[in-house]
């Protein structure tokens, strides 16, 4: 059965591939291992709350750490913090470990870190645990209608 993310992308005619793996725990490292790809080719999706109360998606390579201070600065916000688990699941309709920017219950603006473009192919959660969707990075950016920013640091 197709996930909400797959359904949304298919309805838009977006080229992607679906990759299921044996989900054991959340996190980019576990997803990369389950799929047999380099962790830097996975894209983790974070839900971030800006100082204004606005929520957005921030997508970064799986091996990066994000400075919320730098992210807030990049989007001209006073501050930014990771959304709570409760708010993340309420807004997206997805469980932690399966959150992606497609098919979300609440449409949120999407920001993708520039480092995603360093890869030929990237893998992002497809809307349920144990499902990654594969994309050419440019296709991912276009499909998510994302703004590319430089905020991640290794």
> Quick one: average pLDDT of 37-42?
94
pLDDT attached to residue 154: 42
Beta strands in the chain (DSSP E): 17-20, 42-50, 55-61, 65-66, 80-82, 109-113, 122-125, 131-135, 147-149, 152-153
- 25 versus 19: the higher-pLDDT residue is 19
Would you state the torsion angle of the CA atoms of residues 21, 64, 111, 120, taken in this order, to the nearest 10 degrees? -60
What is the band of 1 on the pLDDT scale with cuts at 50, 70, 90? confident
Q: Are 34 and 22 in contact (CB under 8 A)?
A: yes
Strands 42-50 vs 122-125: parallel, antiparallel or unpaired:
parallel
User: Could you tell me the CA-to-CA distances from 17 to 6, 40, 136 in Å, in that order?
Assistant: 9, 18, 10
What is the band of 18 on the pLDDT scale with cuts at 50, 70, 90? very high
Percentage of the chain beyond pLDDT 90 is: 77
Structure tokens at 48: 């971030």
pLDDT attached to residue 153: 58
Domains and CATH numbers, the chain: 4-11+14-148 (3.90.960.10)
What is the band of 25 on the pLDDT scale with cuts at 50, 70, 90? confident
pLDDT tens digits, 67-109? 899 999 999 999 999 999 999 999 999 998 889 999 999 999 9
């Amino acid at each position: 059965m197709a996930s909400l993310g797959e359904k949304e992308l298919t309805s838009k005619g977006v080229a992607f591939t679906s990759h299921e793996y044996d989900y054991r725990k959340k996190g980019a490292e576990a997803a990369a291992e389950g799929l047999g790809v380099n962790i830097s080719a996975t894209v983790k999706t974070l839900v971030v709350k800006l100082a204004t109360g606005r929520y957005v998606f921030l997508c970064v390579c799986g091996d990066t750490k994000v400075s919320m201070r730098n992210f807030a600065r990049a989007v001209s916000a006073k501050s930014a913090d990771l959304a709570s688990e409760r708010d993340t699941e309420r807004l997206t309709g997805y469980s932690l470990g399966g959150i992606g920017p497609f098919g979300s219950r609440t449409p949120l603006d999407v920001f993708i870190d520039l480092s995603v473009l360093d890869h030929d192919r990237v893998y992002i959660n497809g809307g349920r645990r144990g499902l990654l969707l594969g994309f050419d990075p440019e296709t991912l950016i276009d499909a998510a209608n994302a703004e590319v920013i430089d905020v991640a640091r290794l």
